[in-house]
Structure 1
Amino acid sequence: MIRAVCPASCGELIQGYIFGGEKLISYAVDMYSTVSLYEGKRPDDMPIDMEKAYRAVDETFRLCGYSSEESKDIAIDIDSQISAGKGMASSTADICAAIACASEYIGRKLSKEEVAGICTGIEPTDSTIFNTLTLFDHVGGDICRDYGKNIESGVILIEGREIIDTVSFHKKGLHGLIRSGERQMKRALELFEEGLCEQDMGKIGQAAIISGLERQNVLPKRGLEALIEKSMELGAYGVNVAHSGSTVGVLYPQDKVDMGKLIYEIGKLEIVKAAKSVESCTIVQGGAKLQYM
């Protein structure tokens, strides 16, 4: 048996119309999908998340020069901590971990470009498939900028109740609305890159706020503005959103802000009261990792 894990995202730091099309920068948190691969019979009926993961296995075999006939006796199990349909990259994690298992079984290490190609061939994909922060064309699969580092911040993950199908969302004909935010997204990207270069989380938090507020025109989150205002009053770096989901993240300095007080105070707000859950998360490295048993 081969086993691999891939982390969730807490939405995106920025997402919008950048460099002629929609791009995103996700960040990974410590919730995981675990995929186990073994030789065995595939189930006749399976849920959509399992179908996507099996497709990832088949596409990995095909990319490595094997036929679908040669992958039909490969089975997988998925054990995920990640809520689906909330903008937390649940399917991305399943697919990426399945690719890691299949490539290990075959004995070939795939490049990040190859992994991105398989993932986006199945569905729009978060950049949590990469080890470090990446500006990514989540539909076309192009790696626009690999920043080579991750951010350090505390995160309060607010999981909304609304479930949104990512594939259906991206078919809604929202291109015009998204494109109208190009100027704002240019500013958000500039702030993000300045903040990353200068190790200034305040600028990164501001970039996330600009992107999140711009997305209110496309997928509004009731009470987001009040959450941003209260979080900033309490010393947070900023607030980011899942741009095609209902999850929201509050980024804060762990050495300066009391997490318990932050959760208590924002817990009085409408957007948090209506949430399914509120919890503290740790930012981790993205990408799938093999687990050796």
Structure 2
Amino acid sequence: MQAPRDVTPVQGTTGVGTAFGTFGELLQGALPEEGGDFLVTLPVARWSMATFRHDPGAGRITVRPAHKTKALRLARTIAEETPGPAGGALTVSSVIPEGKGLASSSADLVATARAVANALNVPMPPARIERLLAPIEPTDGVLYPAIVAFHHRAVRLRAVLGSLPAMTVVGVDEGGAVDTVDFNRVPKSYSTAEGWEYARLLGRLTSAIPRHDLAEVGRVATRSALMNQSLRYKRSLEPMLEICRDVGGLGVAVGHSGTTLGVLLDSRDPSCTRRATAASRACADLAGNVAVYRTLSFPGVPARPVAPDTSLLPA
């Protein structure tokens, strides 16, 4: 699809784009409907930033660091859809660990789309980003400034669930790395009962998030982590659940397709610092590497929930 012909790149400009990462997901599974694979995001204050320096005389686009090949592919696709020469240099920098289930690749791509669009002076609404990312890889919903339910395999928004008060996440990494594309190539055999349970869990989040019910959010996240054990087993989950109980946490969230687990704490709680310190010490004894994250809030974001589509199920 070509951009409108009256949209001309600004010559020699520089565009910058950013995108946040996530601490795994609050919920991930499959709903009892066709194409029902979905996740619910847990945005955190870790960022990817892309800078695109437009050079019409360059003839091609390059990327640094060189292994960011998906971002390079995306930048070249946007350039091909834009009239006029669109060579230049793309730089991607991030503080989001790769291969851990923290949406690092999705954040890189969303930041890249925004940076290139800013430099070339072309529109880049969420629907266009979804279309551009779909051929590249399954994608997290980090292009939306909210907690969202997102069909990551189809790269399509399902619903905006709203925003939550800030939480502190005391996280551990079991080590290694998981390739998102490879993980999503593996068929996921969810039973009918599991599909209905995921639908109920999504319904609970859809209700809890606008109410800012962090206790219910923690319960749903914990249940999703337990259900995911058959797909991506985490040896530290049971010990993390015990730590969560010991410190009075809300629940445990995991990178369903990654290697991370974290205890959720209410940042508004006057005892949050004490609880986080206790959780960090226990996690250090468990895994030896601990990182503390803060979730993002998006004041004023209205919820736009969508109910599960059960019309394709047998009566």
TM-score range, shorter chain: 0.7 to 0.9
Distance verdict in 2 for CA 1:117–1:46, change over 3 Å: same
Q: What are the ranges of 5 or more consecutive residues in structure 1 without an aligned counterpart?
A: 286-293
- Equivalence for 2:69: 51
- Equivalence for 2:46: 31
Distance verdict in 2 for CA 1:212–1:107, change over 3 Å: same
| Superposition deviation, residue 171 in structure 1 | 1.3
Is the 8 Å Cα contact of residues 38 and 151 (structure 2) preserved in structure 1? Answer: yes
Is the 8 Å Cα contact of residues 16 and 179 (structure 1) preserved in structure 2? Answer: no
Q: Distance in 2 between matches of 1:247 and 1:142?
A: 25
TM-score by length of 2: 0.80
| Superposition deviation, residue 276 in structure 1 | 3.3
**Aligned residues: percent identity?**
22
Q: Give aligned pairs, total.
A: 277
Is the 8 Å Cα contact of residues 167 and 294 (structure 2) preserved in structure 1? Answer: yes
In the TM superposition, 1:136-147 aligns within 5 A as 136-147=150-161
| Superposition deviation, residue 233 in structure 1 | 4.1
Aligned to 2:253, the other structure's residue is in SS state strand
Q: Distance in 1 between matches of 2:136 and 2:100?
A: 18
Distance verdict in 2 for CA 1:45–1:84, change over 3 Å: closer
| Superposition deviation, residue 177 in structure 1 | 4.5
Determine which structure has the larger helix proportion and give its number: 1
Q: Deviations over 1:132-186 (max 9, x none)?
A: 1211111112211122x2211322241412211111111123x214876313312
In the TM superposition, 1:69-108 aligns within 5 A as 70-71=85-86, 73-108=87-122
Distance verdict in 2 for CA 1:16–1:95, change over 3 Å: same
Superposition RMSD in Å: 2.4
Distance verdict in 2 for CA 1:134–1:45, change over 3 Å: closer
Q: Which amino acid aligns with 1:122?
A: I
Is the 8 Å Cα contact of residues 231 and 250 (structure 1) preserved in structure 2? Answer: yes
| Superposition deviation, residue 223 in structure 1 | 2.5
Is the 8 Å Cα contact of residues 12 and 243 (structure 1) preserved in structure 2? Answer: yes
Aligned to 1:87, the other structure's residue is in SS state coil
Choose from 191, 203, 228 the match for 2:216. 203
Is the 8 Å Cα contact of residues 101 and 259 (structure 2) preserved in structure 1? Answer: yes
TM-score by length of 1: 0.85
Q: Deviations over 1:248-288 (max 9, x none)?
A: 23221123233343342453358x63253322424255xxx
Q: Distance in 1 between matches of 2:288 and 2:142?
A: 24
Aligned to 2:51, the other structure's residue is in SS state strand
